[in-house]
């Protein structure tokens, strides 16, 4: 029998209209307990209005060893950033 | 009349305070981080409710009474909590069993007090009810988990219930004060609370094959100020600072 409860990743939406963001992880025996634990551990100071829980084993993560081929080719492709447009002064928040 | 209301408020507040203190003893000692935080959250919820009750009690009492003097400067015989909430943190099953039985009583009690004829009681109940609904959900889930878990957890949960359930008779044994508060519409009707209590306790226990002992305790008088041997130890810890350094603040 496994002694330790599995790990769950917790995502919280801080207010309606914003996306859920990863806030941390915790131990729980199942999804329902993960939800209650997330409520107690991560929303004590009114951090959220909605919680998602995902068991960590269901997340497929990129391997740090592959960082070279995955991410470095983007480094010298500045033309992918829309930085060559001149923005009118009236447009803010970009 | 006013004295009866004052004493009734103490009954409500003292139950929450003593249970809150028992839970606070677990701070840093929970079985794991998540449960530790959950139990101390519940303790803080209860202490929040205690403050509301005792602020109101201080107002009723008048003179130089404050929420702190009511919380910390009474003698043991003046506390009106039931014996159930004094019971020790013997193991996690006892902590959960005590919480579950109290929540199953507390929730229907406060549901009635949300319609109290006393506007202060009504306001406190309406503010507290969401917290208590969560406590009830938390403790019910844990009774099901322990009762329906392994043979070991089932045995321990059953042992805790065998010890704790007989204390619940006191919850529903009406005192003169409670009868008067029921009649004037400020307090709850304990017969109705008991019906809701029985239904929720039986449904959770039946779901996981836990049985309720038949033999109940008959002479508990916590509401009259006669407590178990645990109470003195708890009060000496709770009151130490105010007794050793009168009127201290921080």
Q: Which chain A residue has the Cα nearest residue B146? A: A29
The string of pLDDT tens digits covering residues B56-67 is 999 999 999 999
Q: How far is B96 from chain A (nearest CA, A)?
A: 15
CA distances from B54 to B58, B65, B213 (A): 6, 10, 35
- Taking all residues of chain B, what is their mean pLDDT, rounded to a whole number? 96
**Spatial separation of the C-alpha atoms in residues B236 and B190, rounded to whole Å:** 32
Beta bridge partners of A20: A13
Tokens of B154: 């089932």
**Spatial separation of the C-alpha atoms in residues A2 and A57, rounded to whole Å:** 15
pLDDT at A2 over 70: no
Q: Position of tokens 């041997």?
A: B229
| Res B249: pLDDT | 81
Spatial CB neighbours of B177, under 8 Å, sequence gap ≥ 6: B4, B7, B8, B11, B223
**Spatial separation of the C-alpha atoms in residues A65 and B240, rounded to whole Å:** 59
The string of pLDDT tens digits covering residues B67-94 is 999 999 999 999 999 999 999 999 999 9
| Res A88: pLDDT | 86
Main-chain dihedrals φ then ψ at residue B147, nearest 5 degrees: -65, -35
Q: B interface mutation test: which of A29, A30, A34, A40 has the most B CBs within 10 A?
A: A40
pLDDT at A44 over 60: yes
Residues spanned by the domain of A9: 1-59
**Spatial separation of the C-alpha atoms in residues A12 and A24, rounded to whole Å:** 9
Q: Chain B contact for A54, CB < 8 A? A: no
**Spatial separation of the C-alpha atoms in residues B177 and B93, rounded to whole Å:** 33
Could you give the angle at which helices B92-113 and B190-207 cross, rounded to 10 degrees?
140
Test A40 with B141 for CB contact under 8 angstroms. no
Test A29 with B32 for CB contact under 8 angstroms. no
Average of per-residue pLDDT across B90-119: 98
Q: Which of A5, A27, A36 sits opposite B138 (nearest CB)?
A: A36
| Res A1: pLDDT | 52
- Residue A17: pLDDT band with limits 50, 70, 90: confident
The string of pLDDT tens digits covering residues B163-213 is 999 999 999 999 999 999 999 999 999 999 999 999 999 999 999 999 999
Test A40 with B32 for CB contact under 8 angstroms. no
Q: Would you call A78 helix, strand, or coil by DSSP?
A: helix
Contact list in A for residue B138 (CB cut-off 8 A) is 36
Contact list in B for residue A25 (CB cut-off 8 A) is none
**Spatial separation of the C-alpha atoms in residues B222 and B171, rounded to whole Å:** 10
Assess if residue A86 is contained within a domain: no
Assess if residue A27 is contained within a domain: yes
Full set of structural domains in chain B with CATH: 2-244 (1.20.1260.10)
| Res B247: pLDDT | 83
**Spatial separation of the C-alpha atoms in residues B235 and B242, rounded to whole Å:** 11
Q: How many domains does one find in chain A?
A: 1
| Res A68: pLDDT | 87
Closest CA to B156 of B201, B214, B93: B93
Assess if residue A3 is contained within a domain: yes
The string of pLDDT tens digits covering residues B1-34 is 579 999 999 999 999 999 999 999 999 998 889 9
**Spatial separation of the C-alpha atoms in residues A54 and A52, rounded to whole Å:** 7
Contact of B90 with B73, CB cutoff 8 Å: no
Test A41 with B138 for CB contact under 8 angstroms. no
Beta bridge partners of A24: A10
| Res A89: pLDDT | 85
Q: Which chain A residue has the Cα nearest residue B45? A: A44
Contact list in B for residue A27 (CB cut-off 8 A) is 32-34
Assess if residue A48 is contained within a domain: yes
pLDDT at B111 over 90: yes
Main-chain dihedrals φ then ψ at residue A20, nearest 5 degrees: -70, 140
Q: Chain B contact for A37, CB < 8 A? A: yes
Assess if residue A44 is contained within a domain: yes
Average of per-residue pLDDT across B219-230: 96
Residue B226 carries which DSSP code? B
Contact list in A for residue B137 (CB cut-off 8 A) is 36
The string of pLDDT tens digits covering residues B116-132 is 999 999 999 999 999 99
CA distances from B55 to A30, A86, B48, B65, B146 (A): 41, 63, 11, 9, 38
pLDDT at A94 over 70: no
CA B36 to chain centre: 19
Assess if residue A71 is contained within a domain: no
CA distances from B171 to A66, B90, B113, B119, B156 (A): 64, 21, 16, 24, 24
Tokens of B158: 């059953």
Residue B161 carries which DSSP code? H
| Res A3: pLDDT | 75
Q: Which of B34, B137, B138 sits opposite A26 (nearest CB)?
A: B34
Q: Which of B34, B37, B138 sits opposite A28 (nearest CB)?
A: B34
**Starting from the edge strand earliest in sequence, which strands make up the sheet with A7-13, in order?**
A20-27, A7-13, A50-55
Here the CATH number for the domain that contains residue A33 is 3.10.20.520
- Give chain A's end-to-end CA distance (angstroms, integer): 53
Q: Which of A28, A32, A40 sits opposite B41 (nearest CB)?
A: A40
Does ipTM exceed 0.90?
no
Assess if residue A37 is contained within a domain: yes
Q: How far is A40 from chain B (nearest CA, A)?
A: 5
Percent of chain A at pLDDT > 90 equals 54
Assess if residue A89 is contained within a domain: no
């Amino acid at each position: 029998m496994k002694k330790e409860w599995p790990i769950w990743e917790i995502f919280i939406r801080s207010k309606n209209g914003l996306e859920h963001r990863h806030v941390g992880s915790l131990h729980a025996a199942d999804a329902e307990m993960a939800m209650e634990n997330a409520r107690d551990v991560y929303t004590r100071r009114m951090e959220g209005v909605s919680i998602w829980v995902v068991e960590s084993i269901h997340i497929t993560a990129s391997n740090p060893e592959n960082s070279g081929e995955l991410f470095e080719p983007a480094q010298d492709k500045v033309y992918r950033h829309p930085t060559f447009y001149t923005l009118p002064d009236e447009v803010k928040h970009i | 009349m006013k004295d009866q209301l004052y004493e009734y408020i103490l009954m409500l507040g003292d139950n929450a305070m003593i249970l809150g203190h028992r839970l606070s003893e677990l701070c840093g000692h929970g079985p794991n981080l998540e449960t530790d935080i959950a139990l101390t959250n519940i303790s803080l919820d209860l202490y929040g409710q205690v403050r509301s009750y005792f602020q109101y009690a201080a107002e009723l009492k008048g003179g130089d009474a404050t929420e702190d003097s009511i919380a910390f400067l009474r003698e043991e015989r003046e506390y009106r909590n039931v014996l159930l909430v004094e019971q020790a943190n013997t193991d996690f099953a006892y902590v959960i069993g005590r919480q579950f039985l109290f929540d199953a009583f507390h929730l229907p009690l406060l549901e009635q007090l949300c319609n109290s004829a006393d506007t202060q009681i009504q306001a406190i109940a309406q503010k507290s009810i969401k917290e208590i609904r969560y406590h009830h959900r938390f403790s019910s889930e844990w009774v099901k988990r322990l009762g329906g878990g392994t043979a070991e957890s089932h045995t321990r949960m059953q042992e805790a219930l065998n010890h704790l359930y007989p204390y619940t008779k006191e919850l529903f044994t009406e005192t003169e004060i409670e009868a008067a508060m029921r009649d004037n519409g400020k307090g709850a009707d304990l017969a109705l609370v008991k019906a809701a209590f029985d239904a929720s306790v039986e449904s959770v226990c039946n779901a996981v094959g836990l049985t309720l002992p038949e033999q109940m305790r008959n002479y508990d008088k916590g509401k009259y100020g006669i407590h178990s041997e645990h109470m003195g130890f708890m009060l000496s810890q709770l009151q130490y600072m105010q007794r050793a350094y009168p009127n201290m603040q921080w």
